[in-house]
Amino acid sequence: MARDAGMDYESFYRQSVEQPEVFWAEQARRIHWDTPPKQILDQSRPPFRRWFVGGTTNLCHNAVDRHLAARAEQLALVAVSSETGITREFTYRELHREVNAFAAVLQSLGVGKGDRVVVYLPNIAEAVFAMLACTRIGAIHSVVFGGFAAHNLALRIDDAQPKLLVCADAGMRAGKVIPYKPLVDAALNEASAPPPHVLLVDRGLDPQMNRVPGRDVDYAGLRARHEGAEVPVAWLESNEPSYLLYTSGTTGKPKGVQRDTGGYAVAMAMSIRCIFDIAPGQVMFSTSDVGWAVGHSYNVYGPLIGGATSLLYEGLPTRPDPGVWWGLCEKYGVHSMFSSPTAVRVLKKQDAGWLHKHDLSKLRWLFLAGEPLDEPTAQWINAELGVPVVDNYWQTETGWPAITLMPGLEMKPARLGSPGLPAPGYKMKVIDENTGREVPAGSKGVLVLEPPLPPGCLSTIWRDDDRYVHSYFSHFRELLYSSLDWAIRDADGYTFILGRTDDVINVSGHRLGTREIEESVAGHPAVAEAAVVGVKDELKGQVPVVFATLKQAAGAGAADVARGMQQCVVEQLGSVAKPARVYVVGALPKTRSGKLLRRSLQALAEQRDPGDLSTLDDPAALEEIRKALERGPDQEN
Ligand code: ATP
Ligand code: MG
């Protein structure tokens, strides 16, 4: 077992950045290698780097098979759906059986090493089986969040070019069945590289589900045929890809974040123990969807590699009642819980009595991530739960927390508003966006990482090394990874995140690029130009608000077009992206160089001062916006 017991945060962190090869060689002992690494770090081609070169391992083996000797009868996965009312429990032995059957099914459909498999499933056990079955045989999974609409799915299919798509008949939300299959059919119609087969997980929710003969196959039938199969694991070189996960993409085309195998396994094994404080046999409850980065790392790979029990949840935090999560914590003896500030804000609106009804004596920590954690939310949940709240900062790209406290190692005092200190391996700086020089403590700058990125972080963008370099490493003269977030570091190294250097809206924890919504709205035939900004919303964090100008000969009334714009967004991006308000205006405020002044628009929409207007081209355009806001929207949700 790797050395960590009794180590303090400072020495742990210091070694990780000053002697990375010594540090990570030690951490690599946490996982099973079929062949041990020959070289810990290869930095010969920066900003690329390769961890554990020459070592061979397998994610599925480390997450499942490896535990059979010591904990076959321990629960590995508990999949709870408050929508269907069904709870399914799987021991490590049962998980092993399911994953092997799924892997055999994949092989029977022609899926092999290096092939991509798009997984478009709700938060159900089969999503976990599918992911582990892929990594077992060396296929590359690409999970697409079930809330994404057909167009988004099609974009990801065309980029990943999968051999197979796995989907369910339907998901459920707030008691309503949401059919998935029609979205898949539409996406496959639109895609230029549709896979030859679609594997259907039929939950019996949509009796009308359509099946395309020859293309669509039912999982249940194939599973029955392959039950009891034993599929050998494929030993992969540490740097071979394990999975792709697309970011929401502010530039229109989503980026396929590519994860390696060995580095990711080691990062999961270390972080589940040292950050999330989970020891083998303990229970972790992450409320994330498997379609997000948190779901990949802390619903699937982290807890399972760590020999823990992982709780997966489909449903709302408030149904059947606002105590549902706390009831699960009590029933399964959850040790560490992981959720988002949005979810806590929803619960904060409920009677705290729901929380106190349950025995939460086993719960040690509540981790929150994904968006800034505001003080009232942090203080409320901390006081009601009586356990420390650990804010942690990360990105899809990093795959695990970059800034956090490490209760599994040494719990340092938290500072409200800050996720804490750099995680092991992250060489972090806050620099001036113009000069590239480090800013003094207490000053705002761009948060950057010095290469090499630690194990677990993205290795590249799928089939686009240039885009990897260009998107992340080309912002400064020095070769630095830009997080594209503003930050302030205090004198003790606590880092505060101040928001993004680009424009992204966060609606109930879902990240939406304003550019994407703008593109969608502008697709309406009557729209000339549109600007989308995120406007503060008490419940959802932010909501998208549209300001648009119409083409001269549009003919249709403003209200009709506004409604049409909302429809475009719902059809192309999904209902999470639906604009809350649409204003049809005569002109949009722009800079002299023709850039939309989104920041001023947002400020006005939030009844704030529009700020620096020195670059404004036409002051009349701003007046237009003020008047429109006074008059009220042409269409409201
Ligand atoms: P894209 O890169 O396609 O625009 P995204 O950045 O919106 O997608 P994620 O990778 O899921 O999608 O989000 C990472 C971002 O979320 C961070 O860069 C940061 O802005 C924000 N974030 C995450 N955790 C925290 C946190 N604890 N505090 C403040 N902000 C956070
Ligand atoms: Mg991002």
DSSP letter string over 92-144?
HHHHHHHHHHHHHHHHHTT--TT-EEEEE--SSHHHHHHHHHHHHHT-EEEE-
342 CB within 6 A, ligand 1: no
Distances (CA, A) of 315 to 22, 84, 289, 385, 577: 44, 9, 10, 21, 19
509 CB within 6 A, ligand 1: no
Closest Cα partner for 489 from 411, 432, 413, 406? 432
What is the model's pLDDT at position 252?
45
User: With contact defined as beta carbons under 8 Å apart, do 582 and 572 qualify?
Assistant: no
71 pLDDT band, cuts 50/70/90, is: very high
User: Measured in angstroms, how far is the CA atom of residue 394 from the centroid of ligand 2?
Assistant: 9
349 pLDDT band, cuts 50/70/90, is: confident
296 CB within 6 A, ligand 1: no
Judged against a pLDDT cut of 50, whether residue 250 lies above it is answered with no
- The atom of ligand 1 lying closest to the CA of 255 is 3
Report the C-alpha gap between 263 and 268 in whole angstroms.
9
User: Measured in angstroms, how far is the CA atom of residue 521 from the centroid of ligand 2?
Assistant: 22
Q: What one-letter code names the amino acid at 488?
A: I
Report the C-alpha gap between 118 and 291 in whole angstroms.
11
418 CB within 6 A, ligand 1: no
What is the model's pLDDT at position 555?
63
What is the model's pLDDT at position 593?
54
Determine the 3-state secondary structure of 191 from DSSP: coil
465 pLDDT band, cuts 50/70/90, is: very high
**Other CB atoms within 10 Å distance of the CB of residue 384:** 18
Q: What one-letter code names the amino acid at 268?
A: M
Indicate the burial class of 7 (C-beta count within 10 angstroms; 0-12, 13-18, 19 or more). middle
**582 vs 250, more confident:** 582
Please state which of the ranges 15-29, 61-75, 201-215, 505-519 shows the lowest mean pLDDT.
505-519
Query: What structural domains does the chain harbor?
Result: 9-328 (3.40.50.12780), 504-636 (3.30.300.30)
251 pLDDT band, cuts 50/70/90, is: very low
Pairing between β-strand 197-201 and β-strand 216-218 as defined by DSSP bridges: parallel
16-21 — which CB contacts under 8 Å span 24+ positions? 16/424, 16/425, 16/454, 17/424, 17/425, 17/426, 17/427, 20/425, 20/452, 20/454
Query: Atom 13 in ligand 1: which residue has the minimum CA distance?
Result: 395
Peptide bond into 419 cis (omega under 30): no
Query: Atom 27 in ligand 1: which residue has the minimum CA distance?
Result: 393
Closest Cα partner for 217 from 189, 197, 193, 195? 197
> Ligand 1 test: best mutation among 392, 511, 515, most atoms within 8 Å of CB?
511
578 CB within 6 A, ligand 1: no
Mean pLDDT over each residue of the chain, to the nearest integer: 92
Indicate the burial class of 198 (C-beta count within 10 angstroms; 0-12, 13-18, 19 or more). buried
Please state which of the ranges 168-182, 423-437, 597-611 shows the lowest mean pLDDT.
597-611
Query: Atom 28 in ligand 1: which residue has the minimum CA distance?
Result: 372
* H or E element in which residue 375 lies: helix 375-385
Q: What percent of the chain stands above pLDDT 70?
A: 96
- The atom of ligand 1 lying closest to the CA of 368 is 27
**42 vs 372, more confident:** 42
Q: Which ligand is nearest to the CA of 501?
A: 1
Average pLDDT over residues 421-430: 98
Q: What percent of the chain stands above pLDDT 90?
A: 75
What is the model's pLDDT at position 151?
83
497 CB within 6 A, ligand 1: yes
Average pLDDT over residues 421-441: 94
169 CB within 6 A, ligand 1: no
User: Measured in angstroms, how far is the CA atom of residue 252 from the centroid of ligand 2?
Assistant: 13
User: Measured in angstroms, how far is the CA atom of residue 364 from the centroid of ligand 2?
Assistant: 30
Query: Atom 7 in ligand 1: which residue has the minimum CA distance?
Result: 511
User: Measured in angstroms, how far is the CA atom of residue 147 from the centroid of ligand 1?
Assistant: 18
Please state which of the ranges 231-240, 267-276, 518-527 shows the lowest mean pLDDT.
518-527
Judged against a pLDDT cut of 90, whether residue 130 lies above it is answered with yes
User: Measured in angstroms, how far is the CA atom of residue 559 from the centroid of ligand 1?
Assistant: 34
Report the C-alpha gap between 338 and 271 in whole angstroms.
13
**596 vs 466, more confident:** 466
Judged against a pLDDT cut of 80, whether residue 139 lies above it is answered with yes
403 CB within 6 A, ligand 1: no
- The atom of ligand 1 lying closest to the CA of 403 is 27
**pLDDT, tens digit (0-9, with 9 covering 90-100), for 37-56:** 999 999 999 999 999 999 99
> Ligand 1 test: best mutation among 470, 494, 497, 510, most atoms within 8 Å of CB?
497
User: Measured in angstroms, how far is the CA atom of residue 508 from the centroid of ligand 1?
Assistant: 13
282 CB within 6 A, ligand 1: no
Q: Which ligand is nearest to the CA of 418?
A: 1
Judged against a pLDDT cut of 80, whether residue 277 lies above it is answered with yes
Query: Atom 14 in ligand 1: which residue has the minimum CA distance?
Result: 395
Query: Atom 21 in ligand 1: which residue has the minimum CA distance?
Result: 371
User: Measured in angstroms, how far is the CA atom of residue 482 from the centroid of ligand 2?
Assistant: 10
Please state which of the ranges 236-250, 479-493, 532-546 shows the lowest mean pLDDT.
236-250
